[in-house]
Amino acid sequence: MRLGIDVGGTNTDAVLMAGREVIASTKQSTTEDIATGIVNAIHEVLLTSGVLPGQIEAVMIGTTQFTNAFVERRGLNSVAAIRLSLPGCQAIPPMSEWPEDLAAAIGEQWYLTPGGYEYDGREIAPLDELDIVRVGQDIHKKGIKSIAISSVFAPVNDAMERRAADILRQHVPGCDITLSSSFGRLGLLERENAAIMNASLTGHAEKVVSSFEKALQELEIHAPFYLTQNDGTLMQAEVVRELPIMTFSSGPTNSMRGAAWLAGVSDALVVDIGGTTSDLGFLSNGFPRESSLNVDIGGVRTNFRMPDVLAIGLGGGSEVKMTAQCQIGPQSVGFRLKEKALVFGGDTLTTTDLAIAGGLADFGNQENLSALSRADVERGLSAIREKLEDAIDRMKTRPGDVDVILVGGGSILVDENLKLKGVGRVYKPEHFSVANAIGAAIAQVGGEIDKVFSYEETPRDQVLAQAKREATELAIQSGAVKASVKLLELEELPLAYLPNGAVRVRAKAIGDMAFSAN
């Protein structure tokens, strides 16, 4: 029996699952202290199902708490950023181009010191251990407890970051240290930003994880608990204390994975039609396709793995203009649908009005729509479909039809019995309102590597085998059952202007948690 929980800004949802079956689900308000909301939600599902706390084998929590805290600059630590790069990389200081209020909130304290690697693993300079001691003493004197260490080409070799951390722990008692190598990807500034963001959140993470623990203790649930991370896999609660930013995009990821699970498919395009926009995301092997672009979070550029989501101006509240082309959105009446839409006696023609007039849904007062001609309704509904078809086509990565999972309140706009261009099957799963919590409950564990190899020094076959092996080992280290681990992604990017057939290889493996017997 597993318990999936989604702690959002507004609601805390919980689902209780046995194997593939949802035993109970609930939606409660998120509380200021977080713990009370979780207790309420778990209490509710235990009560309705009659399941005892002792029967729960694992608890999986998805949360946007850390993203919100960072974006709102709430409860952030002062951070000391250390870059191991000298004599290189002195021209762009750490935290360049951070929003001023954010930089001020975490103190803008940084140090450059010798170290780092070249692309091929040679040392730029040896680590200057005495200088690290001096930096540590200065950090201690300033009373800073959170440190972010970034070395050049840390994804190729993280030894210097780890050694520097060992030294700093001796000289800054009780400090939290974030290593940039924890965030894999190449791109020093973006990786360093991620490390600093993470270091600023470790205090908050301690508080949130403790409140999760407190809630579970209060309910006498002694099962291990996990948090879901950006890529849809799980991390142990202990790891979240150290790497809170790994949860940054778990919201949309859990929602998409939950939707796919409800629909019973693993490869599909998820279309979440809300009031103002539709969000489209691609699932492949049950995992969201990740964006290759750098993303800004709270005004800071990072290279996180975020789901590749396309948002278009189409929702249940989108305004409709019956011009020659019939224009749908992007303006929307939004949450005022119930006063503005024609069907509710308002003065604005919305997509919801078209859906009701076209017989796709039945609520409000249909008499208010009598002035709409049949032809206009048809025209409007096909304009909606075309807009959606166009967006679906944009998300495709290969020709041919794609299956679509329609979710969200606005999914009434689409008649699933009519063929959509470029679309195979259309699914409209029920119980979507707790999809995030389900997405958390079904999460697996993963391991990933991102390194530069030389195909001239090591044959391609061997490199790929090694990449696969390393990713698999990382997944097992994170708690995956060995037999269940499989390779999810293997990406090769040849590097222009580099000698010896240099190729950047990224591999990701995932597997089931050890307890997943039911």
489: tokens are 């992604």
The rounded distance, in Å, linking the Cα atoms of 228 and 244 is 10
**By C-alpha distance, which of 155, 159, 152 is closest to 184?**
155
Q: Which two tokens stand for residue 62?
A: 């998805």
**Cα(305)–Cα(185) distance, integer angstroms:** 9
Comparing CB distances to other proteins, the nearer of 438 and 452 is 452
Nearer to other proteins, 120 or 416 (CB): 120
Query: Between 285 and 324, how does the x/- string for binding to other proteins read (CB under 8 A)?
Result: -------xx-------------------------------
Q: Is 501 in the site for other proteins (CB under 8 A)?
A: yes
Count, residues near other proteins per rule CB under 8 A: 44
Whichever of 180 and 444 has its CB closer to other proteins, that residue is 180
Interacting stretch for other proteins, rule CB under 8 A, among 84-92, 98-106, 131-139, 271-279?
84-92
Does 89 participate in binding other proteins (rule CB under 8 A)? yes
Segment 178 to 207, residues that bind other proteins, using CB under 8 A: 186-190
Q: How many Cβ atoms sit within 10 Å of the Cβ of residue 126?
A: 9
Least spacing, CB of residue 501 vs other proteins, in Å: 7
Q: Does 422 bind other proteins (CB under 8 A)?
A: no
Per rule CB under 8 A, is residue 124 in the interface with other proteins? yes
Please report how close the Cβ of residue 454 comes to other proteins at its closest, in angstroms.
Answer: 12
As measured in angstroms, the least distance from the Cβ of 97 to other proteins is: 7
Pick one of 118, 339, 378, 456: the residue that binds other proteins (CB under 8 A).
118
87 lies in the site for other proteins, by CB under 8 A:
yes
Q: If binding is defined by CB under 8 A, does position 394 make contact with other proteins? A: yes
One residue of 19, 93, 264, 459 binding other proteins per CB under 8 A:
93
d(CA 279, CA 407): 10
Question: Which lies closer to other proteins via its Cβ, residue 300 or residue 343?
Answer: 300
Selected from 53, 75, 88, 313, the binder of other proteins by CB under 8 A is 88
Concatenated DSSP letters of 197-229: HHHHHHHHHHHHHHHHHHHHHHTT--S-EEEE-
Q: How far apart are CA 365 and CA 388, in angstroms?
A: 27
User: Before 252, cis peptide (omega within 30)?
Assistant: no
Rule CB under 8 A: say whether 122 interacts with other proteins: yes
Q: Give the burial class of 110: count Cβ atoms within 10 A of its Cβ; 0-12 exposed, 13-18 middle, 19 or more buried.
A: middle
Nearest CA to 241 out of 221, 279, 213 is that of 213
Helix H or strand E encompassing 281: strand 278-284
Secondary structure percentages of the chain, helix, strand, coil, to 5: 40, 30, 35
Using CB under 8 A as the binding rule, the residues of this chain from 146 to 185 that contact other proteins are 152-153
What residue type is assigned to position 53 of the chain? P
What's the Cα-to-Cα distance from 485 to each of 50, 444, 468, 477, 517, rounded to whole Å?
Answer: 34, 10, 11, 11, 15
| Part in contact with other proteins (CB under 8 A); list of ranges 23-31, 55-63, 387-395, 425-433 | 387-395
Shortest approach of other proteins to residue 136 CB, angstroms?
A: 24
Measured in degrees and rounded to the nearest 5, phi and psi for residue 411 equal -70, -10
Residue numbers of the site for other proteins (CB under 8 A)? Answer: 85, 87-93, 96-97, 116, 118-120, 122, 124, 152-153, 186-190, 292-293, 393-399, 452, 493-499, 501-504
